[in-house]
Structure 1
Amino acid sequence: MIESWVINDDSPVVVSSETVLGALRSRIDSGQRETWLTSSSGRSLAFVTNTERAMVVLLEEEGDPGEHAVDPGAQGSSDGFVLSNGQDDEYSNEDTVPIHEAFRLVKQIVKTGSWPKDARWVVDR
Protein backbone atom coordinates (compact mmCIF):
# COMPACT_ATOMS: atom_id res chain seq x y z
CA MET A 1 0.00 0.00 0.00
CA ILE A 2 1.29 3.44 -0.91
CA GLU A 3 1.05 5.98 1.89
CA SER A 4 -0.55 9.36 1.49
CA TRP A 5 0.98 12.38 3.23
CA VAL A 6 -0.44 15.62 4.63
CA ILE A 7 1.28 18.68 6.06
CA ASN A 8 0.32 18.74 9.74
CA ASP A 9 -0.66 22.39 10.12
CA ASP A 10 -2.13 22.90 6.67
CA SER A 11 -5.47 21.79 5.37
CA PRO A 12 -6.05 18.04 5.32
CA VAL A 13 -5.24 18.02 1.59
CA VAL A 14 -2.93 15.20 0.58
CA VAL A 15 0.42 16.30 -0.88
CA SER A 16 1.91 14.20 -3.64
CA SER A 17 5.50 13.87 -4.75
CA GLU A 18 4.62 16.37 -7.49
CA THR A 19 3.21 18.99 -5.09
CA VAL A 20 5.23 18.59 -1.90
CA LEU A 21 8.20 20.69 -3.03
CA GLY A 22 5.97 23.60 -4.02
CA ALA A 23 4.31 23.40 -0.62
CA LEU A 24 7.68 23.39 1.16
CA ARG A 25 8.98 26.32 -0.91
CA SER A 26 5.82 28.31 -0.24
CA ARG A 27 6.14 27.68 3.50
CA ILE A 28 9.82 28.71 3.47
CA ASP A 29 8.96 31.87 1.49
CA SER A 30 6.39 32.75 4.16
CA GLY A 31 8.95 32.27 6.95
CA GLN A 32 7.91 28.76 8.05
CA ARG A 33 11.16 26.82 8.23
CA GLU A 34 9.80 23.78 10.08
CA THR A 35 7.37 21.43 8.36
CA TRP A 36 5.97 18.15 9.63
CA LEU A 37 4.20 15.72 7.34
CA THR A 38 2.17 12.77 8.56
CA SER A 39 1.45 9.67 6.51
CA SER A 40 -1.70 7.60 6.35
CA SER A 41 0.23 4.81 8.13
CA GLY A 42 1.12 7.07 11.08
CA ARG A 43 4.71 7.84 10.14
CA SER A 44 6.09 11.39 10.37
CA LEU A 45 8.55 13.26 8.19
CA ALA A 46 10.23 16.38 9.57
CA PHE A 47 11.88 19.04 7.40
CA VAL A 48 13.67 21.95 9.10
CA THR A 49 15.76 24.39 7.09
CA ASN A 50 17.87 27.50 7.39
CA THR A 51 17.21 27.99 3.63
CA GLU A 52 20.66 26.64 2.69
CA ARG A 53 20.73 23.30 4.50
CA ALA A 54 17.98 21.13 5.96
CA MET A 55 17.49 18.42 8.52
CA VAL A 56 15.25 15.61 7.24
CA VAL A 57 14.00 13.09 9.82
CA LEU A 58 11.74 10.09 9.24
CA LEU A 59 9.89 8.67 12.28
CA GLU A 60 8.00 5.37 12.33
CA GLU A 61 5.66 6.40 15.17
CA GLU A 62 5.31 8.94 17.96
CA GLY A 63 8.28 8.73 20.32
CA ASP A 64 10.51 7.02 17.74
CA PRO A 65 14.04 8.52 17.63
CA GLY A 66 13.85 7.88 13.89
CA GLU A 67 16.46 8.20 11.21
CA HIS A 68 17.89 11.30 9.58
CA ALA A 69 19.72 12.34 6.44
CA VAL A 70 23.44 13.02 6.79
CA ASP A 71 26.25 14.64 4.81
CA PRO A 72 29.32 12.61 5.86
CA GLY A 73 32.48 14.65 5.94
CA ALA A 74 30.74 18.02 5.91
CA GLN A 75 32.64 20.47 8.08
CA GLY A 76 31.38 22.89 10.69
CA SER A 77 27.88 23.71 11.73
CA SER A 78 25.06 25.98 10.64
CA ASP A 79 22.49 27.96 12.58
CA GLY A 80 19.22 29.58 11.61
CA PHE A 81 17.09 26.45 11.84
CA VAL A 82 14.06 28.24 13.29
CA LEU A 83 11.39 25.98 14.74
CA SER A 84 7.70 26.85 14.84
CA ASN A 85 8.00 27.68 18.57
CA GLY A 86 10.63 30.34 17.76
CA GLN A 87 13.60 28.27 18.91
CA ASP A 88 16.66 28.92 16.70
CA ASP A 89 18.78 25.76 16.47
CA GLU A 90 22.30 25.09 15.26
CA TYR A 91 23.20 21.70 13.79
CA SER A 92 26.39 20.03 12.68
CA ASN A 93 26.62 20.15 8.89
CA GLU A 94 27.14 16.37 8.96
CA ASP A 95 23.59 16.04 10.38
CA THR A 96 22.01 18.20 7.68
CA VAL A 97 22.10 18.19 3.89
CA PRO A 98 22.11 20.93 1.26
CA ILE A 99 18.55 22.09 0.65
CA HIS A 100 18.40 20.75 -2.92
CA GLU A 101 19.29 17.29 -1.56
CA ALA A 102 16.68 17.64 1.21
CA PHE A 103 14.04 18.44 -1.41
CA ARG A 104 15.04 15.31 -3.37
CA LEU A 105 14.84 13.16 -0.24
CA VAL A 106 11.42 14.47 0.80
CA LYS A 107 10.03 14.03 -2.71
CA GLN A 108 11.24 10.40 -2.82
CA ILE A 109 9.91 9.56 0.64
CA VAL A 110 6.50 11.04 -0.19
CA LYS A 111 6.48 9.12 -3.48
CA THR A 112 7.72 5.72 -2.28
CA GLY A 113 7.83 5.77 1.52
CA SER A 114 11.58 5.10 1.47
CA TRP A 115 14.87 6.94 1.27
CA PRO A 116 16.41 7.02 -2.22
CA LYS A 117 18.84 4.12 -2.70
CA ASP A 118 21.78 6.53 -2.94
CA ALA A 119 20.78 8.63 0.09
CA ARG A 120 23.01 8.87 3.13
CA TRP A 121 21.13 8.53 6.42
CA VAL A 122 21.64 7.16 9.91
CA VAL A 123 19.30 5.32 12.22
CA ASP A 124 18.96 7.04 15.60
CA ARG A 125 17.06 4.18 17.26
Structure 2
Amino acid sequence: MTVTPPKSPLVPGGDRDVDFDELAHKLVVVAGLRRPGVHLGLVVTLGVLTVVCLLATVTRASAAPLIPLVGLAIAAFVARRARTVETDRQLVTHLAGYAVAVAVSLWSMSYVARTFF
Protein backbone atom coordinates (compact mmCIF):
# COMPACT_ATOMS: atom_id res chain seq x y z
CA MET A 1 0.00 0.00 0.00
CA THR A 2 1.47 3.35 -1.02
CA VAL A 3 0.64 6.67 0.48
CA THR A 4 0.31 9.64 -1.82
CA PRO A 5 1.41 12.99 -0.46
CA PRO A 6 -1.44 15.42 0.14
CA LYS A 7 -1.75 18.16 -2.42
CA SER A 8 -2.43 21.71 -1.39
CA PRO A 9 -5.88 22.92 -2.39
CA LEU A 10 -6.23 25.39 -5.20
CA VAL A 11 -6.53 29.02 -4.24
CA PRO A 12 -8.51 31.54 -6.30
CA GLY A 13 -6.77 32.02 -9.61
CA GLY A 14 -5.53 28.42 -9.81
CA ASP A 15 -2.13 28.92 -8.13
CA ARG A 16 -0.77 26.27 -5.79
CA ASP A 17 2.21 28.05 -4.25
CA VAL A 18 1.41 31.58 -3.16
CA ASP A 19 3.69 33.95 -1.31
CA PHE A 20 2.33 36.23 1.40
CA ASP A 21 1.96 39.29 -0.85
CA GLU A 22 -0.19 37.40 -3.33
CA LEU A 23 -2.17 35.83 -0.52
CA ALA A 24 -2.77 39.24 1.05
CA HIS A 25 -3.89 40.62 -2.31
CA LYS A 26 -6.34 37.77 -2.81
CA LEU A 27 -7.67 38.18 0.73
CA VAL A 28 -8.21 41.90 0.17
CA VAL A 29 -9.97 41.30 -3.14
CA VAL A 30 -12.21 38.48 -1.89
CA ALA A 31 -13.19 40.24 1.35
CA GLY A 32 -13.54 43.65 -0.28
CA LEU A 33 -11.32 45.31 2.31
CA ARG A 34 -10.57 48.30 0.08
CA ARG A 35 -14.21 49.41 0.06
CA PRO A 36 -15.01 52.52 2.14
CA GLY A 37 -18.00 50.76 3.68
CA VAL A 38 -15.70 48.28 5.40
CA HIS A 39 -13.83 51.06 7.18
CA LEU A 40 -17.11 52.75 8.10
CA GLY A 41 -18.31 49.46 9.61
CA LEU A 42 -15.11 49.20 11.66
CA VAL A 43 -15.53 52.73 13.01
CA VAL A 44 -19.24 52.21 13.78
CA THR A 45 -18.37 49.00 15.66
CA LEU A 46 -15.84 50.89 17.76
CA GLY A 47 -18.38 53.62 18.43
CA VAL A 48 -21.00 51.16 19.64
CA LEU A 49 -18.51 49.40 21.93
CA THR A 50 -17.35 52.75 23.33
CA VAL A 51 -20.93 53.81 24.06
CA VAL A 52 -21.54 50.50 25.83
CA CYS A 53 -18.49 51.11 28.04
CA LEU A 54 -19.58 54.66 28.83
CA LEU A 55 -23.14 53.61 29.62
CA ALA A 56 -21.84 50.85 31.89
CA THR A 57 -19.72 53.43 33.70
CA VAL A 58 -22.76 55.62 34.31
CA THR A 59 -25.10 52.81 35.35
CA ARG A 60 -22.57 51.04 37.58
CA ALA A 61 -21.24 54.27 39.11
CA SER A 62 -17.74 52.87 38.79
CA ALA A 63 -14.70 53.58 36.65
CA ALA A 64 -13.99 49.87 36.05
CA PRO A 65 -15.94 49.69 32.76
CA LEU A 66 -13.54 52.28 31.32
CA ILE A 67 -10.71 49.71 31.24
CA PRO A 68 -11.66 48.33 27.78
CA LEU A 69 -11.43 51.84 26.28
CA VAL A 70 -7.66 51.43 26.02
CA GLY A 71 -8.07 48.52 23.59
CA LEU A 72 -10.74 50.41 21.69
CA ALA A 73 -8.48 53.45 21.38
CA ILE A 74 -5.70 51.27 19.98
CA ALA A 75 -8.17 49.70 17.53
CA ALA A 76 -9.34 53.16 16.44
CA PHE A 77 -5.76 54.23 15.84
CA VAL A 78 -5.05 51.11 13.78
CA ALA A 79 -8.30 51.53 11.80
CA ARG A 80 -7.36 55.11 11.00
CA ARG A 81 -3.92 54.04 9.80
CA ALA A 82 -5.47 51.22 7.74
CA ARG A 83 -7.28 53.79 5.60
CA THR A 84 -4.02 55.25 4.29
CA VAL A 85 -1.94 52.13 3.61
CA GLU A 86 -0.59 51.59 0.12
CA THR A 87 -0.09 47.83 -0.14
CA ASP A 88 -2.45 44.96 0.50
CA ARG A 89 0.04 43.36 2.86
CA GLN A 90 -0.01 46.45 5.09
CA LEU A 91 -3.82 46.48 4.99
CA VAL A 92 -4.06 42.86 6.13
CA THR A 93 -1.51 43.54 8.88
CA HIS A 94 -3.38 46.61 10.13
CA LEU A 95 -6.74 44.86 10.11
CA ALA A 96 -5.24 41.92 12.00
CA GLY A 97 -4.01 44.42 14.60
CA TYR A 98 -7.52 45.89 14.71
CA ALA A 99 -9.02 42.45 15.28
CA VAL A 100 -6.56 41.68 18.09
CA ALA A 101 -7.21 45.02 19.80
CA VAL A 102 -10.99 44.54 19.65
CA ALA A 103 -10.66 40.95 20.89
CA VAL A 104 -8.57 42.09 23.87
CA SER A 105 -11.08 44.84 24.55
CA LEU A 106 -14.00 42.38 24.49
CA TRP A 107 -12.08 40.04 26.77
CA SER A 108 -11.39 42.87 29.20
CA MET A 109 -15.11 43.80 29.13
CA SER A 110 -16.02 40.28 30.16
CA TYR A 111 -13.26 40.19 32.77
CA VAL A 112 -14.48 43.46 34.29
CA ALA A 113 -18.06 42.18 34.31
CA ARG A 114 -17.07 38.92 36.03
CA THR A 115 -14.62 40.39 38.50
CA PHE A 116 -16.12 43.67 39.64
CA PHE A 117 -19.86 43.11 39.30
**TM-score by structure 1 length?**
0.26
Q: Name the structure with the higher strand share.
A: 1
**TM-score by structure 2 length?**
0.27
Structure number with greater Rg is: 2
Q: Name the structure with the higher helix share.
A: 2
